[in-house]
Amino acid sequence: MVMNVGGYQLRKEVKMKVLVHLKETSQPIIYEDVINAYQKGDFYCVMYMKDDKRIEDKFSIRDKNIFMCREIETKFDLDKRY
């Protein structure tokens, strides 16, 4: 979302933290700075930034390996000027 504040265009960026807990693991896989998490076909996809690169990890839903997914909004950044 882009807002006009004091003559500046500010973009509101929502960052997420995603926890993917697989059946075989005792602890969830934790993703920080997630851009998007979604289902695409038979996959649960997590898109995130690491070392200034956009990375997408995919987990098969068909194999029923996922025990739980949790998506948490963590940051609202209003300081980005465009």
Find the mean pLDDT for residues 46-73. 83
pLDDT at 78: 52
Q: Inform me whether the pLDDT recorded for 41 exceeds 60.
A: yes
- List pLDDT tens digits, range 7-30: 555 555 667 888 888 888 888 889
Domain ranges of the chain: 2-81
Q: Is 77 or 29 the better-scoring residue by pLDDT?
A: 29
Burial classification of residue 46, based on how many CB atoms lie within 10 Å of its CB (0-12 exposed, 13-18 middle, 19 or more buried): buried
Q: Report pTM.
A: 0.68
Question: What's the Rg (C-alpha) of the chain?
Answer: 16
Range from 3-17, 27-41, 62-76 carrying the lowest mean pLDDT: 3-17
Sign of the C-alpha dihedral computed for residues 76, 29, 21 and 55 taken in this order: positive
Compute the mean pLDDT over every residue in the chain, rounded to the nearest whole number. 77
